[in-house]
Structure 1
Amino acid sequence: MDLQETDEHRALRATLRDIAGAFGPAYYVERAEAGEPCTELWHELGKSGFLGINLPEEHGGGGAGLVELAMVVEETAAAGCPLLLLLVSAAISGEVIGAFGTPEQQRTWLPRLASGESKVVFGITEPEAGSNTHRLATTARRVGDEYVVRGTKHYISGVDEADALLLVTRTGTDERTGRAQLSLLIVPTDAPGLVATPLPVSAKLPEKQFVLHLDDVRVPADAVVGEEGGGLHQVFHGLNPERVTGAALCVGVARHVLGKAAEYANTRAVWDTPIAAHQGVSHPLAKAKIETELAALMTTKAAWFHDRGLPAGEASNMAKYAAAEAAHAAAEAAIQTHGGNGLATEYGLLPYWGLARLLQIAPVSREMVLNYVAQHSLGLARSY
């Protein structure tokens, strides 16, 4: 693993900085405050070939990997435009359909995901299941040449922006273990019987959250992605990329807010001395910078493992944990550096703090990452 980036990767980052920088934090904060999607930037990234950078070339993608997609996520965030749906549509849905979809599903969805014409969001979270995927209650029952879907999903991002859901459902129960047999279905967001209700959150984000009620939603049998009952393996093939791109988003957010804080600290003078000269200001920023760089290294490692088909669960979880902690610390330090101005809308820091705080909870909480590391990395007794 060579930590020196190639010329192609440096050029990729520079191009992304130019594209996202043309929109910048003023654009993002305005959208976040209004709760409106960053449609123009999304389309620009699609037109430039970056939304599908990790998808196969034969389906309109760039033929690269998760390493490159993580760069797209990081650099857009570092330019002040973190896009949450890159984690969902590009990382989870793109990777899962690309790996397990039928030829027809791939021909239908991958070119549209790559161009930015369509988004496919992910539906897994349920109020009673929490982080235990085996406890999912949403069912898909085979009736002739259709599946009939019933259940409820919570905190599903971007349903209003998407043409379809990649929905995790229970299609049976393993008689030996009693665990759910899971299947993935592609469900149109306008399917009869599917009701999406906005779920208000106080964090300022462009992307909206929804509660989904599925009341006898019917989809054709060919809506199954991969094999019926094989959904657990497919889900985790998508969750590792989600965690890696989530980590990349956090690294980008941290870079952005630290850049703003450093600029403010160098220009804000009190009694003729820049506040950057005071260790009470500079040390929290320096500490956050170190933590951000460490998180970036683990993010690269996890993406590199995934692209080579190596076990990436441990590295993906560690990257997501480290990056979310770093982004939150960076946002806290940036706000504190600005003093009262840190809460002023003019300086636009609170939306990034809210996003960093959210990513300590989702897509996997820091406590569940610690549980994973305790059990799988250290061999400690399972605690949940």
Structure 2
Amino acid sequence: SGGNAAACHAQIYTMGALLRHGSEAQKRTYLPEIAAGRLRLQSMAVTEPEAGSDTSRITTFARKVDDGYLVNGQKVFTSRVQHSDLLLLLARTARAEDVPGKTDGMSLFLVDLRQARSAIEVRPIETMVNHETNALFITDLHLSDDALVGEEGNGFRHVLDGLNAERILIASESIGDARWFVDRSVAYAGERVVFGRPIGANQAVQFPIARAFMHAQAASLVRWQAATLFDAGASCGAEANTAKLLASEAAWEAAEMAMTTHGGSGMAVEAGIERKFREARLYLVAPVTNNLVTTYVAEHVLGLPRSYGTGGST
């Protein structure tokens, strides 16, 4: 349809951590209401201004107090929080220097935004696409003990369950975008007549369309492989990341192709190409940049030395 699915996918992947690691009481309280559409869990706050893709560097801290936790810190690029009742929040419960592993000491919390009130200041971030995202400023947010999801100090691992699902969903959206660009371009190339023949009769026009179609089909196969593994509860980090990279690149290739195929008409707002063109660009860098996907595969799949961080180039 050419619509933007970002507004729909969040409640799917944010559920992973709650489904797999939430307490029975949390599941009984929230899952039926979410399933009935009376409660929205659309948002996850992980990224911070000084941490970015290196989640181990987050500094938002949840200090243990007698009746729960007191949270202070800042988050950025927290999407859909203005349209959510609940928020999954990743915060440190132990300082990085006090734990053996760099991703240890982080905990995941389920925050009821309706009760948080002024403890969370939401500042919208304007973007080039139709995507609602925000900066959060958290000041003395009090959370009860039962807001903790899973084990204290193990929150990063709990979040990963949702992130693999997110990559598979982003891949699916990108494949849909690519196919939309291809369909629109096929129709336009068949109808647009220049110098007495449809422009689609020219190899310079039809070859890029055909290549975009084939690359989207290839990405789709890896996407289904990742989804099958995820549904089976098997390890799927390599497949989910690979699907995200291939699909986002296929979508961007198709976007470039569609803009070129439509020529000046592609710049017209009424054609819809320029809007989708801007939206497709996002997934080359979010929710994880394709450069980091590539380094993940190089290190964790192929066994090559780590190429960034301590002892490596950046």
Does structure 2 conserve the Cα–Cα contact (< 8 Å) formed by 1:166 and 1:186?
Answer: yes
Task: Look up the equivalent residue of 2:123 and give its one-letter code.
Answer: T
Does structure 2 conserve the Cα–Cα contact (< 8 Å) formed by 1:85 and 1:157?
Answer: no
The one of 118, 122, 125 equivalent to 2:39 is 118
**Could you tell me which residue of structure 1 aligns to residue 76 of structure 2?**
154
Q: Distance in 2 between matches of 1:254 and 1:302?
A: 19
The one of 6, 11, 15 equivalent to 1:94 is 15
Task: Look up the equivalent residue of 1:298 and give its one-letter code.
Answer: V
CA shift digits 1:187-220 (9 cap, x unpaired): 12241310010011122x1x31100000111111
CA shift digits 1:334-363 (9 cap, x unpaired): 111111010101101122112211011111
CA positional deviation for 1:279:
1.0
Q: Distance in 1 between matches of 2:231 and 2:133?
A: 30
Does structure 1 conserve the Cα–Cα contact (< 8 Å) formed by 2:104 and 2:154?
Answer: no
Q: Distance in 1 between matches of 2:242 and 2:265?
A: 33
Task: Look up the equivalent residue of 1:102 and give its one-letter code.
Answer: S
Does structure 1 conserve the Cα–Cα contact (< 8 Å) formed by 2:269 and 2:275?
Answer: no
Please say if 1:184 is aligned against 2:112. Answer: no
Does structure 2 conserve the Cα–Cα contact (< 8 Å) formed by 1:85 and 1:158?
Answer: yes
- SS of the residue 1:172 aligns to: coil
The one of 307, 311, 317 equivalent to 2:241 is 317
Please say if 1:232 is aligned against 2:156. Answer: yes
Does structure 2 conserve the Cα–Cα contact (< 8 Å) formed by 1:137 and 1:151?
Answer: yes
CA positional deviation for 1:109:
2.4
CA positional deviation for 1:132:
1.2
**Could you tell me which residue of structure 1 aligns to residue 27 of structure 2?**
106
**Could you tell me which residue of structure 2 aligns to residue 249 of structure 1?**
173
**Identity over the aligned pairs, expressed in percent?**
38
Q: Distance in 1 between matches of 2:220 and 2:143?
A: 41
The one of 25, 49, 53 equivalent to 1:127 is 49
Does structure 1 conserve the Cα–Cα contact (< 8 Å) formed by 2:193 and 2:199?
Answer: yes
Q: Distance in 2 between matches of 1:175 and 1:97?
A: 25
The residue correspondences of 1:215-364 to structure 2 (distance < 5 A) are: 215-364=139-288
Task: Look up the equivalent residue of 2:165 and give its one-letter code.
Answer: P
Q: Distance in 2 between matches of 1:343 and 1:108?
A: 49
CA positional deviation for 1:180:
4.3
Task: Look up the equivalent residue of 1:115 and give its one-letter code.
Answer: A
Does structure 2 conserve the Cα–Cα contact (< 8 Å) formed by 1:82 and 1:252?
Answer: no
Q: Distance in 1 between matches of 2:103 and 2:35?
A: 35
> Aligned pairs, how many?
303
Does structure 2 conserve the Cα–Cα contact (< 8 Å) formed by 1:184 and 1:224?
Answer: yes
Q: How does the TM-score come out when normalised to structure 1?
A: 0.76
The one of 93, 96, 116 equivalent to 1:171 is 93
Q: How does the TM-score come out when normalised to structure 2?
A: 0.93
Does structure 1 conserve the Cα–Cα contact (< 8 Å) formed by 2:99 and 2:105?
Answer: no
Task: Decide whether aligned partners of structure 1 residues 152 and 364 sit closer, same or farther in structure 2, where only a CA change above 3 A counts.
Answer: same
**Could you tell me which residue of structure 1 aligns to residue 123 of structure 2?**
197
Task: Look up the equivalent residue of 1:135 and give its one-letter code.
Answer: R
- SS of the residue 2:227 aligns to: helix
Q: Distance in 2 between matches of 1:112 and 1:256?
A: 34
- SS of the residue 1:326 aligns to: helix
Q: Distance in 1 between matches of 2:32 and 2:73?
A: 30
Q: Distance in 2 between matches of 1:310 and 1:216?
A: 39
Does structure 1 conserve the Cα–Cα contact (< 8 Å) formed by 2:103 and 2:156?
Answer: no
Does structure 2 conserve the Cα–Cα contact (< 8 Å) formed by 1:198 and 1:209?
Answer: yes
CA positional deviation for 1:169:
0.7
CA shift digits 1:307-354 (9 cap, x unpaired): 112110000000000000001111111111111010101101122112
CA positional deviation for 1:108:
2.7
- SS of the residue 2:93 aligns to: strand
Task: Look up the equivalent residue of 1:219 and give its one-letter code.
Answer: L
Q: Distance in 2 between matches of 1:122 and 1:310?
A: 23
CA positional deviation for 1:186:
0.9
